[in-house]
């Protein structure tokens, strides 16, 4: 499909998606900014590494447990439409965000209770575990990876085998770790000068990227529907629909054995 080796394409897909997913401001980014400014680079970086590990675990589970289910028939088409709506919704919410203190997207009180209960039960005592547990309690992250995993495989950006899936997961690990490391460095360097305006600008850039991806995805869906419709109109009748073939009637076919 694209003149890139499938493993490299899968790795790049994971890297870009991990990077874009990490940029929007949420509990993890705010914690990294606050702790990095207060206690230095390594405090923020360790929180980021824990968050990155949990992102990778969710991504791995999405590819191994759900992606194959979405590859077939009408389920695949439905998931492509849901992915388009979800990406567009997220992108618009990020673009409309007015404060970093209010999450642009929530998944209701039940999801919030689940997150709080996980944090209470795990009770993280280190920076690394704080990052890991906070992402673990965010069910939206898992949902996002389920949608993306199915979509990546259906678009052949990630091959449905272990090398392709693992390459994408490794790309996600690099992308998320890269963002959290850079954010920790900026927070420690600025010593609390990383203002809300800067964080909001990052979130809006992420929203713009998501809206662009959603629109590109929507155009692809329309093109596929148009192609399918044209194929149905110009398609020839199959032997079954035109009646039994000569071979089925027991007639000799010239040159046949």
pTM of the model: 0.75
* Report for 16-30, 176-190, 226-240: range of highest mean pLDDT: 176-190
CB 133 within 8 A of CB 122: yes
- Taking phi over 0 as left and psi of -120 to 50 as alpha, with beta for the rest, 251 belongs to beta
Query: Which comes out higher in pLDDT, residue 6 or 198?
Result: 6
Share of the chain above pLDDT 90, in %: 27
Average of pLDDT values for 207-233?
79
- State the average pLDDT for the chain: 80
Helices and strands per DSSP (H, E), number in the chain: 9, 0
Q: Model confidence at 240, in pLDDT bands (50, 70, 90)?
A: very low
Query: Which comes out higher in pLDDT, residue 61 or 232?
Result: 61
For the chain, give every domain's residue range: 6-220
With b meaning 16 or more CB within 10 Å and e meaning fewer, what string describes 224-247? eeeeeeeeeeeeeeeeeeeeeeee
């Amino acid at each position: 499909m694209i003149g890139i080796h499938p493993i490299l394409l899968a790795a790049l897909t994971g890297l870009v998606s991990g990077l874009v997913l990490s940029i929007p401001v949420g509990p993890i980014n705010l914690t990294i900014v606050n702790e990095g400014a207060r206690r230095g680079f390594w405090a923020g970086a360790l929180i980021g590494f824990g968050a990155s590990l949990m992102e990778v675990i969710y991504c791995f589970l999405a590819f191994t447990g759900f992606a194959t289910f979405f590859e077939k028939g009408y389920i695949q088409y439905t998931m492509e439409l849901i992915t388009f709506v979800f990406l567009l919704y997220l992108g618009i919410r990020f673009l409309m965000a007015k404060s970093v203190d209010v999450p642009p997207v929530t998944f209701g009180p039940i999801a919030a209770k689940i997150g709080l209960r996980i944090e209470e039960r795990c009770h993280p005592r280190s920076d690394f575990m704080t990052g890991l547990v906070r992402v673990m309690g965010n069910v939206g992250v898992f949902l996002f990876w389920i949608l993306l995993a199915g979509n990546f495989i259906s678009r052949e950006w990630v091959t449905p085998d272990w090398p392709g899936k693992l390459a994408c997961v490794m790309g996600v690990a690099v992308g998320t770790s890269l963002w959290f490391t850079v954010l920790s460095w900026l927070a420690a360097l600025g010593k609390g000068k990383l203002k809300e305006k800067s964080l909001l600008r990052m979130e809006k850039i992420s929203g713009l990227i998501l809206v662009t991806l959603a629109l590109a995805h929507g155009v692809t869906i329309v093109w596929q529907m148009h192609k399918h419709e044209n194929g149905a109109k110009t398609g020839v009748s199959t032997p079954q629909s035109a009646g039994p073939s000569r071979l089925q009637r027991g007639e000799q076919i010239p040159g046949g054995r």
